[in-house]
A and B are shown apart, each in its own frame.
Chain A
């Protein structure tokens, strides 16, 4: 059973074709890297997969279940998690609260208007554990606005992982990070259990190359090359796309 199957996915904005007949199949436990120059339509593809955009044509399936018409929040409940290119977290809240919100999103507790959130010790313990996994438990009470960019990126990943997803979509997790910070994130990603499927967008190939099992190269919304690392790197079309046509 494939984890994610995208078939003939297309999307246009006005006259502009941003996603053109994309076919993509990611197996369970696979680490897939999606690369392509700026404007290739990578984030748009993610938005189509998560449901923030609805496609003009084609389908998206999660573990063989058609989710093309499913609202975003329901996809999350089916085990899909995602990080964003631009960090849109809860700046005024502590990072522990941020992670707690992620945990709460899948819990039936989120509808409860009677109990005190602060007293939910199990939830708090889970949040601390998630922070420990990314090495930020010492900053648990720190408001997000007072953390560094690198720390925020890690919080974002922690939030995505806190929901114990089956499929994680990472949108440029290394963007804007220093060399040390990149190492931290690399360690994080390598520590993700093998059963979890990861699809990652990266603009900078070198950084993520060795994390990937298979690579898909997108350009102008179309799949140009797909294959193992070696295949894609060797392919002449990859060079063309990156060095201009």
Chain B
């Protein structure tokens, strides 16, 4: 990383930290928290979609499992530490299961299998009433107080979320720039060639899936503490689709893309629901519009635009999001 980009990152981090103190209304601070936690979710999904070239339509299932485990353990009297650790472990176990089943395929089949798996988790959350309380959901009464800092109010929760977010971004950045990250991109572009070069393509994808699941679980845990409630709605296909929209609207295969996409989707969703009752219609319409007219997403599109303004030639073609996954 150049010193200029490090400087930019620090500036952004400082701005983000100062945010809740600059903004007066709690409502906006909450929106900011939402954006950050969904950005972590989108970053996680992007590891698969953008870097592995595997589109999952079932990630809300993994998100929800973490959230439900926390809610369930808290409501049965356990402490926060136990709840969080168990949620992480349980979610990772589920991720391993998802991965083992869906990595038997690639391309369209991968989408179908992850969709089905997400539906299974949703169905369990919805129907296994004795465990999950079904449609009524489970409430979470308290938030954790790490190192004695209470997170009950919006501002403190925002700061805690911000810290987790920055760590998640750092982790994702390190992964993407690592040899394993480069290998993962290789399996996205030319899986057959990677095999011939000596890479274990399935294993690389598996570990990417696990990392993706870890970030998703973290986001799920933040979510359940944020909304102090979990219901099957958070696991539905619409939730997986929203996460995918965040990734592709911002631009898959970049680090900034999912963050921008998360901000976009959260803001539009909150603003829209103030004026328009039908968020799903808008979600669908935006989906269709982006896929048809701007498949590469906002961030690569904007990058391309700035580059073409400042330089005449030698630009690298951005990867179209809806790039065909190779079987």
Contact = CB atoms under 8 A, between A and B. Distances in A.
B and A form one assembly: yes
Contacts of A159: 197
B55 to A, nearest CB: 19
B179 A120 contact: yes
Interface in B181-228: 181-183, 186, 189-190, 192-201, 207, 211
B317 interface: yes
A117 B178 contact: yes
B190 A88 contact: yes
Contacts of B201: 73
Chain A interface residue number, banded: 35 or more
Contacts of B180: 110-113
Give the interface centre of B175, B183, B197, B207 by most chain A CB atoms within 10 Å.
B197
Interface stretch (A11-19, A101-109, A172-180, A207-215): A101-109
A112 B317 CA distance: 28
B316 interface: yes
Given A88-B193, A92-B317, A117 B198 contact: no
Interface of B is mostly: helix
Interface string A134-161: 0000000001010000000000000100
A90 B175 contact: no
Contacts of B198: 73, 76-77, 105-106, 163
Given A113-B175, A113-B180, A101 B316 contact: no
Interface string B270-305: 000000000000000000000000000000000000
Nearest to A90: B189
B321 to A, nearest CB: 14
A234 interface: no
Nearest to B197: A105
B174 interface: yes
B178 A116 contact: yes
Interface residues of B, number: 27
Given A76-B197, A76-B198, A143-B316, A113 B178 contact: yes
Given A111-B180, A113-B174, A92 B316 contact: yes
Contacts of A114: 174, 178
A60 B189 CA distance: 29
A10 B289 CA distance: 52
B178 A112 contact: yes
A163 B193 CA distance: 14
Given A115-B179, A117-B179, A102 B190 contact: no
Nearest to B186: A101
A114 B59 CA distance: 25
Contacts of A124: none
Contacts of A82: 196
Nearest to A94: B316
Interface in A59-117: 72-73, 76-77, 82, 84, 88-92, 97, 100-102, 104-107, 109-117
Given A76-B196, A112-B179, A115-B179, 11 more contacts: A100-B182, A101-B186, A102-B197, A104-B182, A106-B198, A110-B179, A114-B174, A117-B177, A117-B178, A117-B181, A163-B198
Interface of A: 50, 52, 72-73, 76-77, 82, 84, 88-92, 97, 100-102, 104-107, 109-118, 120, 143, 145, 159, 163
For the complex of A and B, list the 9 residue pairs with the smallest distance between their C-beta atoms, beginning with the closest: A105-B197, A105-B198, A76-B198, A113-B180, A113-B178, A109-B179, A116-B177, A117-B179, A73-B198
Interface of B: 174-175, 177-183, 186, 189-190, 192-201, 207, 211, 316-317, 319
